[in-house]
């Protein structure tokens, strides 16, 4: 029996729970590597399919490996009719993240051996989910606007096909680069809350679909993946660039968290946010809409003020979610679909961690320090006040 209270790390802050070779997040210097490749290099030279292969298999694919991987993905981007029916039914009522979670969970029905945890079977399930999640996100976007479902176009890559299935228009080269960049930047980030929750579920030897459904539920929260939607809602609430400073100051005085800023690990500018910012500035050169121009003006004034007030002093800097919104608006994507896109991308990180963790599985079961009474005498209901 413990005599004195042990050290408790709330939220597992600063606690190492595993070792991994998938990604390195250098919070002090604002750096990120996937399997040893810098995020800047991958954002500039790679694509989401190649990054997904890198994360899952631990190496960049040869041309033959890449073509085979892409072929498998392209063959699986379609959705079963029952899944489309449920999405259509939920679209007018439920939040897109709740529909993502439900539709993803249904996919287990089409897997002949869902509980098979052999490496080959596990990777095959991850490929199926990587292929279908963007289609589910796009179908949600279509049915929310009471538009018809658009079948996938196998001539496009996963991220371009997502945009096509959402808008009915094949993206141009720059639009294709922007959406693929966002898929690459959101793919993996070590033991963030949703990836850790995926590992907790996988550690019980539940199946890939169960672990993925856990991850989607966890990613929804505004302190995590839901911050991208919340950050754009805040920028929209500010409305006029000249309101920015007043709005932020009042929010901080009211002890409100400014969405899109701060991070458990990064105590410097999130390197992913820097990349989003640079592509946003590039998109400003190409006829941006007035909406995007205004959003960006507000975002940049909010960023400047937050860095002045909380950057250097408290290590609260912009994270990827802050500028993701304005960039998605360049592509005409509704804010309610931002986190579903995050799900479609992060499936590569979740999947790679499941594969790695099952190599040396250990049930996740931490302790909590009990503060209640012991051996309380039971009182029959008629004697209780």
Residues serving a catalytic function are 263, 321
Integer Cα distance of 122 and 248 in angstroms: 46
Residues that bind ligand SDX (CB under 6 A): 11, 189, 192, 223-225, 227, 257-265, 314, 316, 319, 321
Residue number, 69 or 322, with CB nearest to ligand SDX = 322
- Report in angstroms how near the CB of residue 193 gets to ligand SDX at its nearest: 6
| CA end-to-end distance (rounded Å), the chain | 32
Residue number, 70 or 302, with CB nearest to ligand SDX = 302
- Report in angstroms how near the CB of residue 220 gets to ligand SDX at its nearest: 11
Residue number, 77 or 218, with CB nearest to ligand SDX = 218
Residue, CB closest to ligand SDX:
262
Tokens encoding 194: 């949703």
Residue number, 79 or 235, with CB nearest to ligand SDX = 235
- Report in angstroms how near the CB of residue 134 gets to ligand SDX at its nearest: 18
Residue number, 74 or 220, with CB nearest to ligand SDX = 220
- Report in angstroms how near the CB of residue 260 gets to ligand SDX at its nearest: 5
């Amino acid at each position: 029996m413990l005599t004195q209270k042990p050290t408790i790390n709330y939220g597992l802050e600063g606690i190492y729970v595993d070792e991994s070779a998938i990604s390195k997040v250098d919070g002090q210097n604002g750096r990120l590597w996937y399997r040893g490749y810098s995020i800047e290099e991958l954002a500039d030279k790679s694509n989401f399919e190649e990054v997904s292969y890198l994360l899952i298999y631990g190496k960049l694919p040869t041309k033959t490996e890449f073509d085979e991987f892409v072929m498998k993905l392209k063959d699986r981007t379609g959705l079963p009719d029952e899944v489309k029916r449920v999405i259509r039914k939920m679209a007018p009522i439920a939040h897109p993240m709740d529909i993502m979670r439900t539709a993803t969970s249904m996919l287990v029905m089409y897997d002949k051996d869902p509980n098979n945890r052999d490496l080959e079977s596990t990777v095959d399930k991850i490929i199926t989910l990587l292929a279908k999640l963007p289609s589910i996100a796009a179908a949600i976007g279509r049915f929310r606007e009471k538009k018809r479902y658009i079948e996938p176009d196998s001539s496009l890559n996963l991220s371009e096909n997502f945009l096509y299935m959402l808008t009915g228009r094949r993206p141009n080269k720059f639009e294709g680069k922007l959406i693929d960049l966002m898929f690459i930047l959101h793919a993996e980030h070590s033991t963030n809350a949703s990836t850790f929750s995926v590992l907790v579920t996988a550690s019980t030897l539940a199946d890939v679909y169960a672990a993925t459904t856990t991850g989607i539920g966890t990613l929804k929260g505004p302190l995590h993946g839901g911050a991208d939607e919340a950050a754009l809602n805040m920028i929209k609430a500010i409305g006029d660039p000249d309101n920015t400073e007043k709005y932020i100051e009042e929010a901080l005085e009211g002890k409100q968290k400014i969405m899109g800023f701060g991070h458990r690990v990064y105590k410097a500018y999130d390197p992913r946010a820097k990349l989003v910012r640079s592509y946003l500035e590039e998109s400003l050169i190409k006829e941006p809409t007035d909406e995007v121009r205004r959003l960006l003006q507000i975002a940049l004034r909010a960023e400047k003020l937050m860095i002045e007030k909380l950057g250097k002093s408290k290590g609260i800097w912009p994270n990827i979610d802050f500028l993701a919104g304005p960039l998605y608006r360049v592509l005409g994507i509704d804010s309610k679909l931002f986190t579903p896109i995050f799900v479609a991308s992060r499936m590569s990180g979740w999947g790679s961690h499941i594969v790695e963790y099952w190599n040396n599985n250990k049930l996740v079961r931490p302790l909590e320090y009990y503060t209640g009474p012991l051996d309380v005498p039971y009182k029959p209901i008629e004697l209780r006040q």
